[in-house]
């Protein structure tokens, strides 16, 4: 009877080891196809005569972004100035003191609107405040790299490259709106 138990245990152990080896091989085959790891991010410090900004990318991968849905966020800013004149009180009269209500002036700057543009080579986020453009972030798609990020003369210029494709993004602001130009170019071998 002990020989029979030993034989069953050996068969069970062999089947379990075979299942583990097969599962490990299956995982190894599809490991490179899993995309939960975020793509490489780009951090850039850009400085111009009027704007200084640091771009830090979000951990969202470009594959998670639906190119058909515009990505916008607003962050309005406002400035409030209050003027309070002195309170005048008649010291020897029995009449109630006279007070002047404070005057308040409020000015609101145009809201800054972040806009994300999805290219074949990656995505770029910029924002406009009036006629000033600011670079927010850029991230390449898998297989691409960011070759250039420039902010010159109120223009943002980003270039993504792979071995067979180049995506170029250029944008500026006009009356608080982003005016963007996108070029997609396939590299052709001669």
Q: For the segment 60-76, what is each residue's pLDDT rounded down to a tens digit? A: 444 444 444 444 444 44
Are 22 and 70 in the same domain?
Answer: no
Q: Residue 62's pLDDT is what?
A: 45
Q: What is the pLDDT of residues 14-25, one digit of tens each?
A: 999 999 999 888
Are 120 and 27 in the same domain?
Answer: no
Whether 160 contacts 146, CB under 8 Å: yes
Are 64 and 116 in the same domain?
Answer: yes
Percent over 70 (pLDDT), the chain: 56
Rg (CA), the chain: 31
DSSP states of 83-125: E-PPPB--TT-SSPPB----EEEEEEPPPEEEEEEE-SSEEEE
pLDDT mean across residues, the chain: 72
Tell me the average pLDDT across 126-153: 89
Q: What is the pLDDT of residues 142-184, one digit of tens each?
A: 999 998 888 887 899 999 999 999 999 999 998 888 999 999 9
Q: Is residue 93 part of a domain?
A: no
Q: Is residue 100 part of a domain?
A: no
- Predicted TM-score (pTM) of the model is 0.44
Are 18 and 55 in the same domain?
Answer: no
Q: Considering its fold, how many domains does the chain have in total?
A: 2
Number of H helices, E strands in the chain: 1, 12
Residue 49 has pLDDT above 90, yes or no: no
Are 155 and 176 in the same domain?
Answer: yes
Boundaries of domain holding 12: 2-31
Are 133 and 153 in the same domain?
Answer: yes
Q: Residue 157's pLDDT is what?
A: 94
């Amino acid at each position: 009877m002990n020989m029979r138990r030993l034989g069953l245990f050996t068969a069970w152990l062999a089947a379990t080891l075979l299942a583990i080896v097969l599962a490990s091989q299956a995982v190894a085959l599809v490991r490179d196809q899993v995309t939960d790891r975020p793509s490489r991010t780009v951090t850039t410090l850009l400085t111009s005569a009027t704007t200084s900004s640091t771009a830090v990318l979000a951990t969202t991968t470009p594959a998670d972004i639906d190119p058909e849905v515009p990505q916008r966020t607003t962050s309005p800013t406002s400035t409030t100035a209050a003027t309070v004149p002195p309170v005048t009180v008649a010291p020897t009269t029995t009449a109630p003191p006279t007070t002047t209500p404070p005057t308040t002036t409020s000015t609101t700057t145009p809201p800054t609107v972040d806009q994300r543009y999805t290219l074949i080579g990656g995505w770029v986020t910029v924002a406009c405040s009036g006629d000033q453009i600011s670079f927010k972030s850029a991230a390449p798609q898998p297989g691409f790299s960011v070759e250039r990020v420039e902010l010159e003369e109120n223009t943002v210029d980003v270039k993504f490259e792979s071995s067979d494709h180049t995506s170029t993004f250029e944008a500026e602001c006009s009356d608080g709106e982003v005016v963007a130009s996108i070029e997609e170019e396939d590299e052709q071998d001669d």
